[in-house]
Amino acid sequence: MRVLLTLVIVAALAIGAGLFITRPKADGADVLAGLTPDPAHGEIVFTASGCASCHMAEGATGEAKLVLSGGQAFPSDFGTFHAPNISQSESAGIGGWTDLDLWNALHHGTSPEGEHYYPVLPYGAYIHMTPQDVVDLHAYMVTLPADETPSLPHDVGFPFSIRASLGGWKMLFLNDDWVMQGDLTSELERGRELVEAMGHCAECHTPRNALGGLKTGADWLSGAPNPAGRGSFPDLVTLDWSADEIAEYLSSGFTPEFDSAGGHMALVVENFAALAPEDRAAVAAYIKALPIQ
């Protein structure tokens, strides 16, 4: 009996220690201290990050895309996730959030209530955003409309429904290391920022391991199956388009073979087409600089 009691105590202590180590992390206000918001730059961050593409209502067009009422479904191997309302509604959206709340969500995957967010919010990419990027993004988002549509719950079964387990996932896969490193030109640094951070291109174009973590190394941006079960996302490493052709595709949606972007990629093209030509050229330069394994 004493041995059993000892084992129970040891197990409880181990679980408690694990939960403490993997608890949701959050920064204090000092990380954003002294920054002046620039909503014009925030609009660029918003567009490059594809916020409306995921958080608009299904089928929204025109200005309605900026009503971030959520609801789109994103199936995965772990269940189906629904994009939440991130409009300026204080009751249904994130209208009550501060700059710091947005920073902790995008940098640590932590909610204002101190809970883990699922990585369907691509904080594994957004962790690379600078404090200025996030402050500017928030300054732009507060100019957008409020909507009272309630967020839909995620359809995620046990054990993935246990959010506490996400702390372990973050320990394994969440870090702020860039994949492309070295002595980069300013153009490649901008391309890296757009591809690896804001544009979160790897979320679709990089295969995942059994735990849902992105593979790096030779697998980075090497293509991946579509979790919705419809085809796959192409390999960008061996893409035989020129840099000019890649930049043109991100502007017009037309491939060198005169096919056109479809599905969610059409929204990605729409976002990149709204950026400066230099940004599209930077993305193309990054893709062409990927090492072929």
Residue spans per domain, the chain = 28-176, 178-293
Going by pLDDT thresholds of 50, 70 and 90, the confidence category of residue 227 is confident
Torsion angles phi and psi, residue 230, rounded to 5: -115, 90
Going by pLDDT thresholds of 50, 70 and 90, the confidence category of residue 11 is very low
Position 159 scores a pLDDT of 74
Q: Is the pLDDT of residue 254 over 70?
A: yes
DSSP state for residue 133 in the 8-state scheme: H
Going by pLDDT thresholds of 50, 70 and 90, the confidence category of residue 178 is very high
Q: Which CATH architecture has domain 178-293?
A: Orthogonal Bundle (1.10)
% residues pLDDT > 70 (the chain): 91
6 vs 198, residue with greater confidence: 198
Stated as kind and residue range, the H or E segment containing 76 is strand 73-76
Count of CA atoms in the C-beta half-sphere (13 A) of 258: 0
% residues pLDDT > 90 (the chain): 75
Smallest Cα–Cα separation from 120: which of 166, 181, 57, 177?
Answer: 166
Q: Is the pLDDT of residue 116 over 80?
A: yes
Going by pLDDT thresholds of 50, 70 and 90, the confidence category of residue 145 is very high
Q: Is the pLDDT of residue 21 over 60?
A: no
With 0-12 / 13-18 / 19 or more C-beta atoms within 10 angstroms meaning exposed / middle / buried, residue 109 is: buried
Q: Quick check: 226 and 76 in contact, CB under 8 A?
A: no
Q: Is the pLDDT of residue 17 over 50?
A: no
* Helices 264-273 and 39-48, packing angle to 10 deg: 150
SS3 155: strand
Q: Is the pLDDT of residue 3 over 70?
A: no
DSSP state for residue 87 in the 8-state scheme: S
